[in-house]
């Protein structure tokens, strides 16, 4: 049995989704690890211990373990983790030596993990794959004022040169890596994210609305981290432009309701715009509850300045809910303009408001998009995604 080490320093697949540091990457790691185990691999996921109550080892599924490694204070944010990477690496090595473990392949997730994985790959003489999930070189071009530490830029380029394979989610990301970082295209595999079509599936709208306790005639939905790069302010200002009376609710799923500066900033914008009666902030919710929110909604909006893939859009489509999304990053590979939703080229409220008006007020368009969205999502299951990844692994393992 081939054994794989997943390195995910700041992203624990057991963390509550929608919090500041937990999103699509956590879902990806969890789902792919379980699918790999179903194909005969053994997967250990190394992540930083982020809570006093974390067990050192958690069994996620048969042949899949989460291993919590101590490195710095539990309360560190991901930008503070860099200073503790050496401790994290040494503690992994100590754990592996004590347990007499051996890994045939390493896959790192995000640049922080890539720095660790590069050292481990050299010591263990194992092939090293990396999935970056987001890249500094792309993020800073996506939104004015977006900043990333210089060490991230230099680390990303260094890691790309050291690894055996880079896994990009879309052709757009592949080309960006080649153009911005000067990496040869032959070193990059394009393997998209997937979706759990058994969890994210159509559910009766009235049942879903009763489940979440919202019954207005029209419902728009946002799901994701509360981060300026996600463009939620654009959506709030678009809602303020709509002549919706009391018939519209915007549900914002994600983030922490207390002690989050960005959340407080957005809530103050809601008051400034006078749309308090239309906007509901739920905070993060359990993934098993998300299908009820997607199905309760008439439309899901992804107004991001950048998305390497856009897992929320795919989950929404799997539930048969059309998506209005920014035409950025990987989103055009999921949202088919005019068929499964709409793509908006401009990052300003007016075009989002226009598309919201069309979808919310046209039942026939929503019905057609519902069928197309579910049909496309059915072709992007996690099992198919993992099969492509396994083929790439096999090439590296000979």
Does residue 296 contact residue 211 with C-beta atoms inside 8 Å?
yes
Q: Which pLDDT band, with edges at 50, 70 and 90, does 16 fall under?
A: low
pLDDT at residue 297, rounded to an integer: 98
The arithmetic mean of pLDDT across residues 261-285, rounded, is 94
> Quick check: 209 pLDDT over 50?
yes
**CA 184/CA 181 separation, integer angstroms:** 9
Q: pLDDT tens digits for 327-378?
A: 998 999 999 999 999 999 988 999 999 999 999 999 999 999 999 999 999 9
Which of 17-21, 27-31, 54-58 is predicted with the least confidence, judged by mean pLDDT? 17-21
Return the percentage of the chain with pLDDT > 70, whole number.
Answer: 97
> What is the structure's pLDDT at 18?
46
pLDDT of residue 133: 92
Same CATH topology for 3-194+381-397 and 205-378: the answer is: yes
Question: For domain 205-378, is the CATH number 3.20.20.140?
Answer: no
pTM: 0.89
d(CA 323, CA 339): 10
Q: Please report the pLDDT score of residue 22 as a whole number.
A: 58
Strands 105-109 and 128-131, sheet pairing? parallel
**Residue 29, pLDDT above cutoff 80:** yes
Phi, psi of 236 (to 5 degrees): -60, -45
Q: Which architecture, in CATH terms, is 3-194+381-397? A: 3-Layer(aba) Sandwich (3.40)
The residue extents of the domains of the chain are 3-194+381-397, 205-378
How confident is the model over 111-135, as a mean pLDDT? Answer: 96
CA atoms of 185 and 196, how far apart (whole Å): 30
pLDDT surpassing 60 at residue 72? yes
């Amino acid at each position: 049995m081939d054994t794989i080490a997943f390195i995910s320093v700041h992203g624990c697949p057991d963390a509550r989704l929608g919090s500041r540091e937990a999103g699509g990457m956590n879902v990806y790691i969890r789902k792919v690890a379980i699918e790999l185990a179903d194909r005969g691999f053994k997967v250990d996921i190394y992540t930083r211990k982020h809570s006093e109550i974390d067990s050192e080892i958690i069994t996620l599924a048969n042949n899949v373990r989460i291993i919590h490694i101590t490195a710095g204070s539990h309360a560190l944010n991901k930008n503070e983790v860099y200073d503790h990477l050496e401790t994290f690496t040494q503690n992994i090595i100590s754990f592996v030596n004590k347990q007499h473990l051996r890994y045939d392949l390493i896959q790192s997730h995000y640049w922080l993990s890539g720095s660790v994985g590069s050292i481990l790959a050299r010591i263990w003489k194992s092939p090293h794959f990396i999935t970056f999930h987001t890249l500094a070189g792309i993020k800073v071009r996506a939104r004015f004022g977006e900043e990333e530490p210089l060490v991230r830029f230099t680390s990303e380029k260094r890691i790309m040169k050291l690894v055996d394979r880079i896994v990009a989610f879309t052709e757009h990301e592949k080309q960006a890596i080649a153009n911005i970082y000067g990496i040869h295209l032959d070193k990059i595999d394009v393997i998209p994210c997937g979706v759990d079509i058994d969890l994210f599936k159509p559910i009766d709208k009235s049942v879903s609305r009763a489940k979440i306790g919202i019954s207005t005639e029209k419902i728009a939905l946002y799901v994701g981290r509360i981060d300026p790069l996600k463009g939620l302010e654009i959506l709030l200002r678009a809602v303020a432009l709509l002549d919706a009376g009391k018939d519209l609710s915007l549900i914002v799923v994600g983030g922490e309701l207390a002690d989050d500066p960005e959340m407080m900033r957005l809530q103050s914008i809601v008051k400034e715009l006078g749309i308090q009666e239309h906007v509901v902030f739920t905070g993060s919710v359990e993934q098993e509850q998300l299908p009820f929110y997607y199905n309760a909604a008439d439309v899901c909006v992804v107004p991001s300045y950048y998305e390497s893939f856009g897992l929320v859009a795919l989950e929404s489509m799997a539930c048969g809910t059309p998506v209005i999304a920014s035409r950025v990053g990987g989103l055009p590979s999921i949202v088919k303009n005019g068929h499964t939703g709409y793509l908006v080229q401009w990052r300003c409220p007016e075009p989002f408001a226009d598309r919201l008006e069309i979808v919310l007020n046209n039942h026939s368009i929503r019905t057609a998009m519902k069928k197309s969205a579910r049909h496309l999502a059915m072709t992007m299951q996690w099992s198919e995604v993992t099969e492509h990844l396994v083929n790439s692994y096999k090439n590296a393992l000979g």
